[in-house]
Amino acid sequence: MSEMLEVSRSKYYQWLHNPITERKKKDEILESKIQIIHNKSNKRYGSPRIHSALKDEGERVSRKRVARIMRENKIVSISKKRFKATTNSKHSFPVCSNLLNQNFHSQAPNQAWVGDITYIPTAEGWVYLATVIDLFSRMVVGWAVRERMTTDLVEKAFLNAYWKRKPSNGLIFHSDRGSQYASHRYQKLLKTLQVNQSMSAKGNCYDNAVAESFFGKLKTEFVSHEKFSSRKEAKSGIFDYVEIYFNRERKHSTLNYLSPLQFEEYHYISIKLVS
């Protein structure tokens, strides 16, 4: 038999005494599905999000089994890197009270937003990204990219969110004590729009943890693995990450493994069902 199959006797007897089990076959099929999901996420997903994606496809499998198969096949999510802060709180501008006090949960969209700034390297030099995130769904509702870290940058990001979402009066906007957010010009803008401004305590990054967390994901999953030849290329990449991937596709553990867009859609559907 071994000669007919053109295999060595040792391999033939090994196969005869150790046939591939049904579970092993299923693991191999599952490993292929895991690879597809992992590659589709650009290697950003770890076992919890891959497990959630498999459930969406109707695959009934435990998270432990997914983690084991990934470990055995060396399927790992992109590793984290350290990045320096960009906040300059050494200024003479007045600062606002901390209205959030680390309460990062909202009952509906457009009740509380958080903002922050980060930097991204390109071959042409730095670009700076300012974002505005809705605490209800963790959606990036506004963002802007500039060559300099100025008040104009954070104004553009906020107005992008404001005119897109049209929030009611009383919205809370929270940020760190950076000079851009504390400037007279920016505080006047929020006051004119009847937005309640809130700021973190001095030197406490946990007071703006949601904004910090987003930048951590951006750097880990995208920026640290790209080399941008120009600022224009960086901006295009940021658009794809924020608008296409993060807001519409990325599963968030805090949202029961839904994307921000899905979470908001379910919220509005539930309101219609109740009314």
Per domain, the residue ranges of the chain are: 9-72, 112-274
Contact 95, 200 (CB under 8 A): no
Decide if 80 contacts 108 (C-beta within 8 A): no
pLDDT, tens digit only, all 275 positions of the chain = 444 444 566 655 665 555 566 677 666 667 777 777 777 776 777 777 777 777 777 777 777 777 787 777 777 776 554 444 455 555 556 788 999 999 999 999 999 999 999 999 999 999 999 999 999 999 999 999 999 999 999 999 999 999 999 999 999 999 999 999 999 999 999 999 999 999 998 777 788 999 999 999 999 889 988 899 999 999 999 999 999 999 999 999 889 999 999 999 999 998 888 76
Report pLDDT for 85: 47
Query: What is the pLDDT, as a whole number, of residue 83?
Result: 44
Both tokens assigned to 225: 């693995």
Q: CA-to-CA distance for 150 and 126, rounded, in angstroms?
A: 13
The answer to whether the pTM exceeds 0.75 is no
Supply 168's token pair. 């009611």
pLDDT of residue 49: 79
Output the CATH code of domain 112-274: 3.30.420.10
* 20 φ/ψ sector (left φ>0, alpha ψ -120 to 50, else beta): beta
Q: Which helix (H) or strand (E) segment is 172 a member of?
A: strand 172-175
Indicate the pairing of strand 112-122 with strand 172-175.
Answer: parallel
Both tokens assigned to 173: 């906007």
Question: Rounded distance, CA 69 to CA 19, Å?
Answer: 19
CA 105/CA 55 separation, integer angstroms:
26
With b meaning 16 or more CB within 10 Å and e meaning fewer, what string describes 98-125? Answer: bebeeebebeebbbbbbbbbbbbebeee
Three state DSSP letters for 45-65: CCHHHHHHHHHHCCCCCCHHH
Q: What is the CA radius of gyration of the chain?
A: 24
Element spanning 134, H or E = strand 125-134
Please tell me the predicted confidence (pLDDT) of residue 34: 72
Task: Report whether 234 contacts 228 (CB < 8 A).
Answer: yes
pLDDT of residue 93: 65
Which parts of the chain fold into alpha helices (H)? 9-17, 22-40, 47-56, 63-72, 151-165, 179-182, 184-192, 209-221, 231-239, 260-274
Q: Residue 28 is encoded by which pair of tokens?
A: 């191999």
Closest among 53, 20, 21, 19 to 34, alpha carbons compared: 53
